[in-house]
Amino acid sequence: TPTHSTTTGSSAPTTPSTVQTTTTSAWTPTPTPVSTLSIITITVSPIIKCCELNDTFYAPGEVVYNGTHGDTCYFVNCSLSCTLEFYNWSCPSTPSPTPTPSKSTPTSSKPSPTPSKPTPSTTKPPACPDFDPPRQENETWWLCDCFMATCKYNNTVEIVRVECEPPPMPTCSNGLTPVRVSDPDGCCWHWECDCYCTGWGDPHYVTFDGLYYSYQGNCTYVLVEEISPSVDNFGVYIDNYHCDPNDKVSCPRTLIVRHETQEVLIKTVHMMPMEVQVQVNRQAVAVPYKKYGLEVSKSGINYVVDIPELGVLVSYNGLSFSVRLPYHRFGNNTKGQCGTCTNTTSDDC
């Protein structure tokens, strides 16, 4: 910093000298504040994943699915009550580009008053009209993997998993072991007693429901036909004849199976030794034979007619026969010498 100049008292002028004195203050660094780190422990309760879909569990509030299928958008989430909520709506189309506004000359007309917007109703509309097909309120329907959906309101659907209770095993009147059959929903199942009829000898019969009887006759008889036809041209028949004129004993001669356009004849050509011939529509065929959903094969001494679509199995060896039908297709709807297939003998012949 410059200081003021000083002059002495002598007569002769002297050259003034300038003395500069600089004062420097010491720099003291500003102390940096020291932070104290506090550790806070937070205890988080485990989140229970209570919604299940396709063997995957989700927590309440978690998004289960968010996507599209065709023109429909879908959203599924796990609700706070641990149920799956299903939403769907028409996906918005891609917006068209906004046109550039053109300049216009202002006019002196007064602006029209802006119409007030109606207050939205807080009432939730019933049913689920946006579904295909539309669903009514509280209507239920099956989804895949044993899940059932229920329409609640405003296109909201509740999805729950259905648990199946094993049904008690019944006793079949014909002595067969019950078979396990899936329900129409494809989720649960039930027991059924198949229809099984046999005949042998001169001749003896056991009906579908296990009733034994004998009948001698010299004719072609109906073993089984449908009471109310649900299958095109289906039936099983036996052609008996009196093989011993002295005792009027009947023996089987031909077993006949009809299905749609085909008629299978398994004929006893010779008794000793036993010789059997297979004909389809009166033409001899070699076995195995397979055509139009009908198969003929040989298993040991038996010739077997199989109609897989119907679950029908018919066998014949020249001396005895058997007919087996699934109950869910033919139960309570058969007539003929094999009986009614109701799992009770009280209504057989």
Residues 208 and 81 in one domain: no
Query: 205 and 321 share a domain?
Result: yes
Task: Tell me the C-alpha distance between 193 and 328, whole Å.
Answer: 9
Domain boundary among 104, 132, 163: 163
Q: Quick check: is 247 in a domain? A: yes
User: Does residue 151 sit in the same domain as residue 287?
Assistant: no
pLDDT number for residue 83: 81
Position of tokens 């060896």? Answer: 317
R_g over Cα of the chain: 47
Range of the domain at 59: 48-91+123-163
CATH number where 329 lies: 3.40.1000
* Burial status of residue 153 (CB atoms within 10 A of its CB: 0-12, 13-18, 19 or more): middle
Sequence-distant (≥ 6) Cβ neighbours of residue 276 within 8 angstroms? 266, 267, 268, 269, 303, 316, 317, 318
- In whole numbers, what is the pLDDT of the chain averaged over residues? 79
Question: Do residues 206 and 341 share a domain?
Answer: yes
**How many domains does the structure of the chain reveal?**
2
pLDDT of residue 19: 38
Rounded to whole angstroms, the Cα distance separating 207 from 195 reads 8
Residue 234's DSSP bridge partners are none
Residue 266, in any domain of the structure: yes
Higher-scoring residue by pLDDT: 206, 106: 206
Cα distance between residue 303 and residue 309, in whole Å: 19
Domain boundary among 137, 163, 189: 163
pLDDT tens by residue, 108-162: 444 444 444 544 445 555 788 888 888 998 898 888 778 888 998 888 888 888 8
What DSSP character marks residue 15? -
- Would you state the pLDDT for residue 334? 96
Q: Are residues 157 and 189 in the same domain?
A: no
336 shares a domain with 208: yes
169 domain residue, yes or no? no
Same domain, yes or no: 198 and 156: no
Q: Answer yes or no: do 195 and 339 share one domain.
A: yes
Predicted confidence at residue 16, as pLDDT, reads 41
